[in-house]
Structure formats: C-alpha cells, structure tokens
Amino acid sequence: MNELTRWIALDGAVNVRDLGGLPTIDGRTTRFGRVMRSDNLQGLTDADVQRLVGELKLRDVVDLRSSAEVELEGPGPLTRVPEVSIHHLTLFPEGGRHTDVEADTPAQDADPVEGTAAGAGNGPDGRARPRIEGDRVLPWQTRNEERAEIRVLGFYYAYLLDRPDSVLAALRVLAYGDGSALVHCAAGKDRTGVVCALALSVAGVARDAIVADYAATGERMEAILARLRASDTYRDDLDSRPADSHLPRPEYMDHFLQMLETRDDGPLGWLARNGWTPEDSAALRSRLLD
C-alpha cells in the first residue's frame, strides 16, 4: 500500500486517511475515495470543507462520539453543508434523558477525586454541563502496559455488546451511501478503529493490513494529543505522559480480532448474529473493492 497517498492533509484535522489501497486475502485492493477515517472535525476550515465535499465527494459522516462530546465540542462545520448527511451513532449505552450514560450528570454529582471528568461545570445559562466518560472515550490511559491491553480490549468488545445497533448502522452507511463516507470519533483511534476494522474484515482485507491501518494512527499521535489537550472536553482526562505511551499498539487490534474469532466465529459471525445480512456484506464489498 502507498501510505503517502492514503493520508489526507487538512488544516483542521490531523488523523485523516483513506481506506483505499489495502490488500485483501484474495489478491484484490480496496478502493480509494469510498471510506475515510478521521479525528474530530470541529476545526475544519473552509478550504478543508471544500476539499472534502468538492474534491473528495464526501456525502456521509459517521460520528461515533457520545452525545456529551457532541454537545460539548459542537457538531462541526460539515453540519452546515447540505450535501453531507451526519449520522450520529454513539458506541456507548444510553441512559438518563436520551443521552449517553453519565452524559447528563451534573459536575457536583461526581466523586471529588475519582469521578471528576472533563467538560464538567456549569454553562453560561447556569445549567450543569454534561461530561464525558473519560475511561470510555480515552481507554488507553494506564501506565501498566499489560493492564492497558486488557482495558483496551474490554472497551473494544464493549462497543459491540453495548451498541450493536450503532455498529451495524455505521457499516450500512458505508455500504449504501453515495459518494464517499467518513468515520470519526475524538482521536480517530479506538471507536473509529473498531468500526473500520469490521468494515475491512467484511471486505476481506488481510488481517495484517487491518492491524497496520489501525497502528498508522500512531504516526499522528503527538498532533492528536495536542488537539485533545487544547479542548476543555478532553484535557482533564489526559496527563502529561509522552505521546508514545498513547500509541495504538498493533497487538491490541490483532488480539481484538482474535477475540472475535474465538468468541463469535470472527467479525462476520458477530455481525450475522446481530442482524447483518449477506446483502449487506455484498453491498459493502461492492463499495470498498475494485
């Protein structure tokens, strides 16, 4: 694969790449211009929007952020573009007043030591602001490497257990949309990584290529962390550790896919048990493959 052509340079996002150019187990290659993945899109400039919508024909955005993140960060400039449909499909369980679990918990309800979360506090109208679940949004945060893998794998599998409806809906956007689609969350690493890994698995992409695509986010980790730390939403759930402690380890995705093989007969087995059809698979393969 040509990594230079996969990365998409934008002023307002740092982890944007095309899922084209990836080899499949039967010797084919994924198409360019069909599916992209990214970090937050709030900072897109007018030139970025023009490139994505005009040049790259972006028509569908799958936003995997929680309701709290969307409220705190804002939906971004693409919501004002009529050609683009935004599909907000959180991977977290929902509770409270139709928001993600803990998203509508006032700051004063948080434990003063353990429960404090980014984005908490009162807004200008005096109402308690929502907060993000830092553990779920940024699951790699631990200094113990062995514990980190267990933690990350647990959260990755929890996305599937908690929100199979969102996972399937996201994949169907990729399968049936017109033009190109873009999947994103906050860093473009964990939630985005899981959904993209499932899409690539349906297309028959070789596992080592899926793992390599996941790990490629590490090339932009320093810039990603700089963006997250610049936001009130995420800053308090990050610490001052160096960027390499946050890297997406290839073994995390490899072991996640192995877990699916062991527990669910692979990604397709899990998808089929949750309502994914052969027609869905055919549509996604047709979109992604030459």
Task: Give 156-165 pLDDT, tens digit per residue.
Answer: 999 999 999 9
12 in Cβ contact with 51 (< 8 Å): no
Mean pLDDT, all residues of the chain: 84
Answer yes or no: is pLDDT of 144 > 80.
no
> Region 19-34: what's the mean pLDDT?
97
Q: What is the largest CA-CA distance in the chain?
A: 59
210 in Cβ contact with 200 (< 8 Å): yes
> Region 43-50: what's the mean pLDDT?
97
Cα gap 160→81, rounded to integer Å: 31
Cα gap 114→98, rounded to integer Å: 25
- Return the number of other C-beta atoms located less than 10 Å from residue 31's C-beta: 19
Cα gap 90→162, rounded to integer Å: 10
* More reliable by pLDDT, 107 or 172: 172
229 in Cβ contact with 126 (< 8 Å): no
pLDDT reported for residue 123: 47
Q: Which amino acid is at 199?
A: A
Answer yes or no: is pLDDT of 98 > 80.
no
pLDDT reported for residue 107: 35
> Region 213-232: what's the mean pLDDT?
93
pLDDT reported for residue 152: 85
3-state SS, residue 205: strand
Q: What are 243-272's pLDDT values in tens digits?
A: 666 789 999 999 999 999 999 999 999 999
* More reliable by pLDDT, 94 or 221: 221
* More reliable by pLDDT, 235 or 78: 78
Residue 268 burial (C-beta neighbours within 10 Å; 0-12, 13-18, 19+): middle
pLDDT reported for residue 84: 98
Cα gap 173→277, rounded to integer Å: 14
* More reliable by pLDDT, 96 or 85: 85
3-state SS, residue 145: helix
pLDDT reported for residue 273: 97
186 in Cβ contact with 203 (< 8 Å): no
Sign of the dihedral through C-alpha 240, 245, 247, 253: negative
Distance of CA 29 to the CA centre of its chain: 23
Query: What pTM, to 2 d.p., does this model score?
Result: 0.83
Looking at residue 50, what DSSP letter applies?
I
The percent of residues in the chain predicted with pLDDT above 90, rounded, is: 69
Q: What are 107-136's pLDDT values in tens digits?
A: 333 332 233 334 444 444 444 455 545 445
Helices 250-264 and 145-162, packing angle to 10 deg:
50
31 token code pair: 């198409």
